[in-house]
Amino acid sequence: MSEPTPVTQSLAHTGLAPSHPVVDGDKQSRMLVNNPAMRVVQFTFDAGAGLSEHDAPGAVAVVLNSGELDFTVDGTVHRMTGGDVLYLAPGVPHAVTAVEASRMTLVITDVG
């Protein structure tokens, strides 16, 4: 887990694509924000890589920055392409499989 990001501190992450490339045959993640209010994580997936079914305790917003993913939500597959957004209610099971090399940003909020 990365260092906590103070809720009272603004920050910017720039130049992420070159510093966080898609790795052949793998998925990678980078924590960008980590505090009690939210976590922001950027994922890269090579084609065929993904995340097995799991859930999150908070509300989740997913932004597919580039590529194409099959995002399964509670058993229903949603084909996402660059620019698409998906919302998950807390506790909903979901999984991800990359159809092609992809970059995804995930925001998890504390619904306390």
Indicate if the pLDDT at residue 21 is higher than 90: no
pTM, two decimals, is 0.90
Mean pLDDT, residues 13-22 taken together: 86
> What's the average model confidence in pLDDT over 56-63?
95
Pick the closest to residue 95 from 40, 27, 25, 1 (CA basis): 27
Separation CA 59–CA 62 (nearest Å): 10
Neighbours of 50 (CB within 10 A): 19
> What's the pLDDT at 15?
87
**What is the overall mean pLDDT for the chain?**
93
Domains in the chain (CATH in brackets) are 25-109 (2.60.120.10)
Residue 7, CA distances (Å) to 1, 20, 38 in order? 17, 24, 9
